[in-house]
Amino acid sequence: MFLDLIRRRNPALVRDAVELHRSGAIPPNTSVIDLDAVRRNADAFLAECRVHGVTPFAMTKQIGRNPDVSAALAARGITHAVGVDLECAVAARAGGLRTGHLGHLVQIPRHSAGQAAALEPLFWTVFSEAKAHEAAAASRAAGRTQDVLLRIAAPGDRFYRGHEGGFAADEVVAAADAIDAIPGLRFGGVTSFPATLFDAEAGEARSTPNLATLTRAKERLLAARRENVELNAPGTTSTSILGTLAAAGATQVEPGHGLTGTTPLHAVADLVEDPAIVYVSEVSHLHGGEAFVFGGGLYVDPVLGDASTRALVVGEGVEPDDVQPRPVDMPAANAIDYYATIGVDAGPVAAGDTVVFGFRPQVFVTRGLTAAVSGVGTGAPVVHGIWSADGSRPLSVDQALAYGGSR
């Protein structure tokens, strides 16, 4: 999906990823992240946010909540993260990003509210008064007054199946008053998702009805003499849409793929952000005219539909610039991705060959690994660490033996 883009705009990442795999510095099933490119993207994003007066909260789930990237973002000035769930917020905090927003998309479970309050989030989204009372009790116990965002919805708004929920948008003023009446809470603003989606036919990012719903809700709240109403507008977030979001009243944005140059719009247009991530694997074995490639992280975000996947198979002593992409037979969506397969009729393939993919990842839902690399293209790349999909260190064999004892 993004392979041609990466080869054209960041070929050094492909070259260095191949060499790092060949040397054993990174294992197969690893998403390799160009840390310097992410830093540049963060700088560009922050500069545009300042122009439009919006606050960015980093979304790190798609890169497996990589702590090295989190630390780099915090150092650049994106100091807070959005946690798509509580675990995401905890992992981002461990990497050095404070909690800017949690509870959206995934509400906080009842008995986890105390843990959520301990993170001292700037904003906590609730979908119902019941969830608001849980947040309030936890916040009071922590000695805090918590700013709350309300997820709202109106007829005609678009939600992915399984994402539904929230307050009726035309009752937002009454809902805000109800929140303020709960000790421990303070109404902060409104949110919805997605505020922007990629239109494949038009080849551009377009505002959804949800964004207009948010704008109308903010207007109602301001007309009711409320001040400093936050409007959180996530979805397909890159620097190219910040002006549109700000004009609609947005005050908070949540870049994720925008920081790695992998929003759907990046696939069809050269935006400011550089592509900054590839997935690296290895040929395991050959059988029946196919090369079997190690999986584990082969989840391709379906936002661009049923797009075909291609990869580079780079043999020992071969330069990746000289290799043409090959079609990949990806595992079915209902299958475990132990392997993907690549035909061998397009040229020689051997066990151990490096395989490089370029697609839009969601590492946190996989068994994939991540590795942030600095110094890409300098001749001396540095791997900052290998991390599991949840942002933790993978256990070594020695650790497993020590924990498991002898049998």
Counting Cα atoms < 13 Å in the Cβ hemisphere of 253 gives: 33
pTM: 0.95
Of the listed ranges 11-20, 215-224, 300-309, 394-403, the one predicted with least confidence:
300-309
- Amino acid identity of 242? L
Q: What is the pLDDT of residues 325-352, one digit of tens each?
A: 999 999 998 899 999 999 999 889 999 9
Per the DSSP assignment, residues forming a β-bridge with 124 are 102, 148
Query: 403 pLDDT band (50/70/90 cuts)?
Result: confident
Q: Are 150 and 190 in contact (CB under 8 A)?
A: yes
Query: 407 pLDDT band (50/70/90 cuts)?
Result: very low
Sequence-distant (≥ 6) Cβ neighbours of residue 130 within 8 angstroms = none
State the CB neighbour count (10 A cutoff) for residue 365: 14
> What architecture is the 3-32+272-403 domain classified under in CATH?
Beta Barrel (2.40)
Q: At residue 318, does pLDDT exceed 90? A: yes
Sequence-distant (≥ 6) Cβ neighbours of residue 270 within 8 angstroms = 9
Rounded Cα distance between 67 and 78, Å, is: 14
**What class does CATH assign to 79-254?**
alpha beta
Beta strands 326-329 and 277-287 are unpaired
Query: 397 pLDDT band (50/70/90 cuts)?
Result: confident
Q: At residue 277, does pLDDT exceed 90? A: yes
Per the DSSP assignment, residues forming a β-bridge with 356 are 280, 312
- Amino acid identity of 372? A
HEC secondary structure over 135-166: HHHHHHHCCCCEEEEEEEECCCCCCCCCCCCC
Task: Please report, for the chain, the start and end positions of each structural domain, with discontinuous segments joined by +.
Answer: 3-32+272-403, 79-254
Rounded Cα distance between 248 and 401, Å, is: 56
Q: At residue 369, does pLDDT exceed 80? A: yes
Q: Are 146 and 186 in contact (CB under 8 A)?
A: yes
**Strands (DSSP E) found in 134-258:** 146-153, 167-168, 185-191, 196-199, 204-207, 230-232, 252-253
pLDDT of residue 399: 84
Pick from 162, 311, 194: which is nearest to 263 by CA? 194
Rounded Cα distance between 276 and 2, Å, is: 10
Q: Please list the helix, strand and coil fractions of the chain in percent, rounded to the nearest 5, in that order.
A: 35, 25, 40
